[in-house]
C-alpha cells in the first residue's frame, strides 16, 4: 500500500525512513513554511535524505521517497494511507486542505491523535477509516540539511481505530509496516488519554520553568525534572485520569507502567527503573517554556481530557490546575484554545452516551 506522510518534521521523516527501508512507496507532503524549510529544499534537490539508524547499530542508508511535494491533490491521490504527523494543533488546517481530494477506502492516521479523527470527519464525507496513535512508533530527529537520525523505537505501539469494528483490519495493515505495531486500544478516547505527552510534558515544564529560563539551553527535562516530589504529582494525576478511563469502559493504567509497556522489551523490569533508563537516554531540551510541550499538549491534550472529565462527572482538578498555571507562565489563555469534547461533537451539551457513540462509529 502507498503511504503519504503529511508533515516533514522529525516524526514524519523518521517514519518515512522506516517505511522506505521496508520498500513501502512513500510520498512526503509539506504543508507549512514554518519549520524545516532548508531540509525540505535540500531533499527536493537530491531526491531523498540520509538516515542513520541507532536502533540498528548505526545502520546508514539513503532514503528515496517516491514523491516529495507541496501539491496536496497530488499527495492525497498517491495514497492508500495518509499519515498526518503534524502537530495536533494543525489537524483542522490539514483536514480542510485534504478534504476535497480524499477518496473512499483510504485510511487516515493521526500521530498523535487526541481524538482528531472527529475533526477530520467534519470535513471529509468519503467512506474512510481512521486510526489514532497515542505516540510514535519510532523517535528521532533531523540533524542537518540532509540527515535524519532514528534514535529510539517503542517495542510496543498501540493504535485505535474509528469505526471500532474495523480495528483488526487496520491493525493487520500496520503490523506489516511496523513490527512493533501489533496492539490496540479500545477506542480513540483511550488512545488520547494514554498519550504520555499530555502528562509529562506540561508537568515537566511547569515544575522546571525557572530552571529552563536560567539554563541558557542546558536543560535535560527527563533527567532533571522528575524528582520524587514531581513524581507524586504524576501519581495524583494518574488517580484522576483512571477514573475518566473507567467511565468509558477502560482498565486503569499507571503512567509508569504504561511507559514501561511501550518502552521496554523486558516487562519484568521495575517500571521506575525503565523510566530512569529512558530519561538518561532522552535528548536535551526544551530551551524555552514557549514550547509545544505547553502550547500543544495543554490545550489539545489536557483541555480535551478535562472536558471529557466534566461530562463524566469526574474530578480533574490536577489537570485543571496545570492548565491555569501553564496559561499564567506563558501569558496565554490556553483554556480558551482547548480542544473540548463539545467542539469535537458540535454540541453545546454533551452526555456520556454522546461520547460513547462518537468513539465507536
pLDDT tens readout for residues 117-151 = 999 999 999 999 999 999 999 999 999 878 999 99
Same domain as 272, residue 140: no
Average pLDDT over residues 6-11: 94
Confidence of residue 32 (pLDDT cuts 50, 70, 90): confident
Same domain as 205, residue 180: no
- Structural domain boundaries, residue 248: 197-358
Q: How many domains does the chain have?
A: 2
Q: How far apart are CA 142 and CA 273, in angstroms?
A: 29
Same domain as 23, residue 101: yes
Point out the least confidently predicted range of 2-11, 78-87, 103-112, 279-288: 279-288
Average pLDDT over residues 47-67: 95
Same domain as 207, residue 157: no
Same domain as 88, residue 187: yes
Average pLDDT over residues 240-268: 94
Same domain as 14, residue 44: yes
In percent, the amount of the chain with pLDDT more than 90 equals 92
Domain endpoint, select from 193, 223, 239: 193
Same domain as 237, residue 164: no
Q: How far apart are CA 195 and CA 174, in angstroms?
A: 19
DSSP labels, 36-88: -HHHHHHHHHHTSEEEEEGGGTTEEEEE--SEEES-HHHHHHH-SEEEE-S-G
Higher pLDDT, 33 or 133: 133
In sequence order, what are the residues at sequence separation of 6 or more whose Cβ sits closer than 8 angstroms to the Cβ of residue 357?
none
Q: How far apart are CA 337 and CA 334, in angstroms?
A: 5
Confidence of residue 236 (pLDDT cuts 50, 70, 90): very high
Domain endpoint, select from 193, 226, 247: 193
Q: How many CB atoms lie within 10 A of CB 60?
A: 10
Confidence of residue 47 (pLDDT cuts 50, 70, 90): very high
Domain endpoint, select from 193, 216, 235: 193
CATH for 114: 3.40.50.720
Task: Decide if pLDDT at 36 tops 90.
Answer: no
Torsion of CA 86, 90, 91, 93, to 10 degrees: -120
The whole-model pTM stands at 0.95
Q: Quick one: cell of 340?
A: 473540548
Q: What is the pLDDT of residue 280?
A: 86
Confidence of residue 282 (pLDDT cuts 50, 70, 90): confident
Q: How far apart are CA 240 and CA 347, in angstroms?
A: 25
Cβ-contact 162, 187 below 8 angstroms: yes
Mean pLDDT score of the chain: 95
CATH for 280: 1.10.1040.10
Same domain as 235, residue 159: no
Same domain as 53, residue 116: yes
Same domain as 236, residue 171: no
Same domain as 177, residue 204: no
Same domain as 156, residue 250: no
Amino acid at each position: 500500500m502507498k503511504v503519504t506522510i503529511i508533515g516533514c518534521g522529525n516524526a514524519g521523516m523518521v517514519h518515512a525512513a522506516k517505511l522506505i527501508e521496508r520498500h513501502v512507496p512513500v510520498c512526503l507532503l509539506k504543508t507549512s513554511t514554518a519549520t524545516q524549510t532548508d531540509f525540505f529544499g535540500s531533499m527536493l534537490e537530491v531526491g531523498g535524505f540520509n538516515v542513520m539508524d541507532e536502533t540498528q547499530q548505526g545502520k546508514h542508508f539513503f532514503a528515496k521517497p517516491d514523491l516529495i511535494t507541496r501539491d496536496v491533490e497530488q499527495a492525497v491521490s498517491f495514497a492508500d494511507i495518509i499519515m498526518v504527523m503534524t502537530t495536533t494543533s494543525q489537524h483542522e488546517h490539514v483536514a480542510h486542505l485534504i478534504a476535497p481530494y480524499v477518496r473512499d477506502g483510504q485510511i487516515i492516521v493521526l500521530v498523535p491523535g487526541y481524538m482528531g479523527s472527529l475533526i477530520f470527519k467534519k470535513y471529509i464525507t468519503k467512506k474512510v477509516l481512521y486510526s489514532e496513535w497515542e505516540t510514535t512508533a519510532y523517535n528521532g530527529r533531523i540533524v542537518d540539511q540532509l540527515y535524519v537520525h532514528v534514535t529510539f523505537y517503542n517495542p510496543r505501539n498501540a493504535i485505535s481505530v474509528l469505526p471500532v469494528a474495523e480495528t483488526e483490519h487496520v491493525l493487520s495493515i500496520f503490523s506489516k509496516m511496523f513490527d512493533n505495531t501489533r496492539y490496540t486500544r479500545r477506542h480513540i478516547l483511550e488512545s488520547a488519554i494514554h498519550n504520555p505527552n499530555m502528562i509529562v510534558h506540561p508537568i515537566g515544564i511547569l515544575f522546571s520553568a525557572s530552571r529552563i529560563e536560567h539554563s541558557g539551553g542546558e536543560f535535560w527535562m527527563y533527567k532533571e525534572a522528575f524528582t520524587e516530589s514531581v513524581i507524586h504529582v504524576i501519581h495524583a494525576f494518574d488517580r484522576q485520569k483512571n477514573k475518566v478511563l473507567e467511565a468509558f469502559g477502560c482498565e486503569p493504567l499507571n503512567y509508569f507502567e504504561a511507559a514501561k509497556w511501550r518502552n521496554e522489551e523486558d516487562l519484568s523490569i521495575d517500571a521506575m527503573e525503565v523510566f530512569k533508563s529512558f530519561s538518561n537516554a532522552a535528548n536535551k531540551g526544551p530551551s524555552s517554556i514557549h514550547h509545544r510541550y505547553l502550547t500543544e499538549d495543554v490545550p489539545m491534550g489536557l483541555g480535551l481530557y478535562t472536558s471529557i472529565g466534566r461530562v463524566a462527572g469526574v474530578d480533574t482538578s490536577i489537570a485543571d490546575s496545570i492548565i491555569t498555571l501553564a496559561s499564567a507562565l506563558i501569558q496565554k489563555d490556553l483554556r480558551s484554545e482547548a480542544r473540548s469534547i463539545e467542539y469535537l461533537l458540535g454540541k453545546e451539551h454533551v452526555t456520556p452516551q454522546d461520547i460513547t457513540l462518537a468513539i465507536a462509529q
